[in-house]
Amino acid sequence: MTPPTPPHEKILSRDQLLARFARPRAGRLVFTNGCFDLLHRGHVAYLQAARALGDFLVVGLNTDASVRRLKGSGRPVVPEQDRAYVLAALAAVDAVTLFAEDTPQQLIAALLPDVLVKGGDYEPGEIVGRREVEAVGGEVVIIPYIEGASTTQFIARIRRGA
């Protein structure tokens, strides 16, 4: 039995990621992205469903500065290196890379995954990178959102003392 890859070995720079998963690839590459602040059951179920769509799952992770621009000054709760490590420790995740931009547009255009996955809180026309992925024969998949599994909701409950 092959031992699992240590999490720190799954956290890759953009250059390392592009070199490892360059086209042509030996397998179907799935990509998703997000903040993944306060990792919870909804995140894990989502990542497992995404991984089931291919041979490799790459997660693009917003940097702390990117999360603050998107979510506000109180976020993220968990620093980027800790978020990356926890994601990389999941069996479903093959690689994690950080991106500092507000969207992963440049990363997706460079990687050109076979499958681009987003959660059910997105409409197809809102998905960044969709055109690039579909232009090379890839597909976009929306995984249903799990009600009640939201970091924002969890943080609000914590702040209320509930």
Mean pLDDT across 122-142? 94
What CATH number labels 28-160? 3.40.50.620
Percent of the chain scored above 70 by pLDDT?
Answer: 93
Q: What is the pLDDT of residues 89-112, one digit of tens each?
A: 999 999 999 999 999 999 999 999
Q: Check if the beta carbon of residue 103 is closer than 8 Å to that of residue 79.
A: no
Mean pLDDT of 125-146: 94
Beta strand spans in 63-156 (E): 95-99, 115-119, 139-143
Q: How confident is the model at residue 145 (pLDDT cuts 50, 70, 90)?
A: confident
Would you state the structure tokens that stand for residue 6, as one six-digit string? 């240590």
Q: What is the pLDDT of residue 153?
A: 72
Give the distance between the most distant pair of CA atoms in the chain: 51
Residue 148 has a pLDDT of 65
Name residues whose C-beta falls within 8 Å of residue 143's C-beta, 6 or more positions apart in sequence.
Answer: 46, 49, 50, 117, 118, 119, 120
Per-residue pLDDT reduced to its tens digit, 10-55 = 999 999 999 999 999 999 999 999 999 988 888 999 999 999 999 9
Rounded-to-integer distance, Cα 25 and Cα 65, Å = 32
Average pLDDT over residues 130-147: 92
